[in-house]
Structure 1
Amino acid sequence: MKKGKLFASIVFAMIFTVLVAACSSETQNSNEGAESGDTKNVVLTTAGTSGAFYPIGAAMAQIVNNNEPSLRITNQASGGSVENVRLLKNGEVEFALLGGDSAVGAYEGIGLEFEGDPHDDVLKGVFSMYSQPLNLVTVEGTGIESFSDLEGKRIAVGAPGSGTEVKTREVLEILGLPYGDGVRQEYLSFAEGVEGMRDGHIDAAFIWAGIPTPGVMDLANVRDIKLIGLNDEEVEAVNNANPSLYKEVIPAGTYKGVDEDTQTLAVNTQTVVHADLDEEYVYNFVKAIFDNLDNLHEAVEAMREMTPETAHQNVIELHPGAKRYYQEIGVLD
């Protein structure tokens, strides 16, 4: 009887020792994966598949997956910038592409969606990417020649709660054409808005995207399009209310049939990361992108604006891993 108890005690002690060692090893691996050679699976969330963010995310994922063994990136479609902030906050994704207004708004807790709710403990910057002009598009026959002519018209304002919709709502309110009273808003994605103009169900669409935007190019091939510009006073009023939205010019010839420069607004775009992601992983991500920047430029025309010299500018507070890379290559003190 005593021998049986002694044997059981010895077995229990051995099992306990093995379990403690396994748990200790697992904890060490989770904390030191970046250094130990383990591959970490992470998600990069972008936007709808018809916009520019999704193919940019796909290109980034391919570059990192082909060149950096410590990371395995999954490119994930989403409802856009505002949803991406929620996904980061909930810990569902590690990286996200955001419009600059959403990045600053979420980080500082300002703006229509984030007032009083700063996320500076969740979001950190990785790099700024490119400028995203407002393509305010209409077609012949709508009678729209200027911004004020949008009054009473059927306007595609973006998918509900997307960064596009938030920016569009803000601009319309600042310039005196709020939802309902000023315009008849339709919550449609880029692709749905273009399709609506093609079929005559929509009078105009707000499309905040890198140029040339494929959907607008396609529309110009089947309908006579117009880009509606904003005058100096309109641009100044919006910029004064939200400095993240600044003056931009879409050059003549960007789209078929648009033969004059169009003054409009723009917002920059940023890649951000969850603040808690290990510094080494973020450093490896940034290094893989810039070591293969030519591939990214070739994959997405708009990304040609991004260089190592500009990437750390006009972005929210940098993650330590990103900051270390820029310091290492000598573009940041």
Structure 2
Amino acid sequence: MRVFQQRASVAVAALLVTAIAVGAPSASAEERIAYKSAKSGTSYYQMGVELANALKAGTDGGVILTVEESQGSVQNVMEAAARPGNYVFTAPPSLVSAAAAGKGAFEKRPNPRFADIRTLFPIPSLTMHFVMAGDGGDQSLEAMVGKTILLGKGSFGATEGEKYLGLFGLTDKVTIADAELGNAADALTNGQIDGFVTAGSFPAPNVIEASATTKIKLLTMSDAEVEKTGQTRQVIPAGSYAGVDADTVTTSLPVLAFATTEMSDDTAYLLTKTFWEAKAQLAAASPWWKAVAPELLANGAVKLHPGAARYYKEAGLPVPDGLL
């Protein structure tokens, strides 16, 4: 009888070990995440690549982020309704709230799964740059009067730039160049245009390129002008671009990283934790990450993913009540 009991105990223990092994994730398992970013060649696509490298290093290969090209934030949000599992995307929070409410670009394409989108962490904001050739002199938006300005087409910067010209009575006082924004730096250097408007994280690659080949100045806005735009006030620090030695007041559109409730709490926790722990290293390599801070969560429009919320609570980082 005793021998039988011993054999039974061994069998039960073996079953328990097997059950634990089957139920628990392997220590060497990779967590694969799709990250929908922006067009390749843009600063936001490069950010995605940098983030992927930081997450892989920060988790010893435990998290593999695959960066996917995108045609814009609307596409990113639309895919959230169809993509399963670990799907992460970037977008302005206002666009996500519009999707959940079935408004704006999503009015004719509503989907109940938009309500499942959850916030993870902020990334660098889309910052408006009004770039003019030359240095010194008038640095207000009035400096564009009588000049040829390149706005580009179809981008947030082009749309916002056109809106600002109208807001401040400049539409009929400037000539809009018919050219692609990708040629802005060359066109400015060659004197084909007097300035261009672009939106992106700072320092923006096309502004860096322009400042490397010609003298430039950034136009600055008054607080009253910023308030009139309805956007967030943003300061581009002095020294961000060659020859720009004073702070520039402008506007920005917050951008955050989102997931859906299909992502597990543990994965969202690991992703958020690793991002913030790698943030200093990211900023050391690429200055645009320096402007990212937990306070940017105040721009969020949908609740935090429970896994992300767990990290913020553990880390003691400030989180608006509306996101919990």
State the partner residue of 2:299: 314
Give yes or no for the alignment of 1:133 onto 2:133.
no
Distance between the aligned counterparts of 1:181 and 1:170, measured in 2? 14
Give yes or no for the alignment of 1:164 onto 2:157.
yes
Distance between the aligned counterparts of 1:276 and 1:297, measured in 2? 30
Against the structure 1 CA distance between its residues 221 and 311, is the aligned structure 2 distance closer, same or farther, given a 3 Å change threshold?
closer
Structure 1, residues 250-291: CA drift from partner, whole Å, max 9, x if none?
334332333443322122221112343233322221122233
Between Structure 1 and Structure 2, how many residues are aligned? 291
Structure 1, residues 291-332: CA drift from partner, whole Å, max 9, x if none?
33333222321212335x436432232122211221233335
Structure 2 residue ranges without an equivalent (≥5): 1-21
Letter matched to residue 156 of structure 1: L
Q: TM-score under structure 2 normalisation?
A: 0.72
Distance between the aligned counterparts of 2:229 and 2:128, measured in 1? 13
Structure 1 residue ranges without an equivalent (≥5): 1-28, 240-244
Give yes or no for the alignment of 1:207 onto 2:198.
yes
Distance between the aligned counterparts of 1:274 and 1:183, measured in 2? 44
Distance between the aligned counterparts of 1:299 and 1:71, measured in 2? 20
Against the structure 1 CA distance between its residues 66 and 231, is the aligned structure 2 distance closer, same or farther, given a 3 Å change threshold?
closer
State the partner residue of 2:44: 53
Against the structure 1 CA distance between its residues 205 and 117, is the aligned structure 2 distance closer, same or farther, given a 3 Å change threshold?
farther
Distance between the aligned counterparts of 2:186 and 2:40, measured in 1? 15
Cα drift, residue 53 of structure 1: 1.5
Distance between the aligned counterparts of 1:259 and 1:227, measured in 2? 10
Match of 1:266 among 229, 252, 271: 252
Letter matched to residue 323 of structure 1: A
2:177–2:193 contact (8 Å) kept in structure 1:
no
State the partner residue of 2:229: 238
State the partner residue of 1:80: 72
SS in 1 for 2:214: coil
Distance between the aligned counterparts of 1:124 and 1:181, measured in 2? 44
Letter matched to residue 164 of structure 2: V
State the partner residue of 2:53: 62
Against the structure 1 CA distance between its residues 217 and 174, is the aligned structure 2 distance closer, same or farther, given a 3 Å change threshold?
same
SS in 2 for 1:215: helix
Q: CA RMSD in A?
A: 3.7
Cα drift, residue 77 of structure 1: 3.0
Against the structure 1 CA distance between its residues 263 and 95, is the aligned structure 2 distance closer, same or farther, given a 3 Å change threshold?
same
Distance between the aligned counterparts of 2:68 and 2:78, measured in 1? 14
Match of 1:254 among 235, 240, 244: 240
1:134–1:266 contact (8 Å) kept in structure 2:
yes
Distance between the aligned counterparts of 2:149 and 2:80, measured in 1? 30
Against the structure 1 CA distance between its residues 52 and 234, is the aligned structure 2 distance closer, same or farther, given a 3 Å change threshold?
same
1:176–1:182 contact (8 Å) kept in structure 2:
no
State the partner residue of 2:185: 194
Distance between the aligned counterparts of 1:144 and 1:203, measured in 2? 14
Distance between the aligned counterparts of 2:110 and 2:144, measured in 1? 34
Letter matched to residue 298 of structure 2: Q
Distance between the aligned counterparts of 2:297 and 2:312, measured in 1? 7
Distance between the aligned counterparts of 2:153 and 2:285, measured in 1? 26
2:148–2:174 contact (8 Å) kept in structure 1:
no
Percent sequence identity over aligned pairs? 25
Against the structure 1 CA distance between its residues 96 and 183, is the aligned structure 2 distance closer, same or farther, given a 3 Å change threshold?
farther
Letter matched to residue 160 of structure 2: K
State the partner residue of 1:16: none
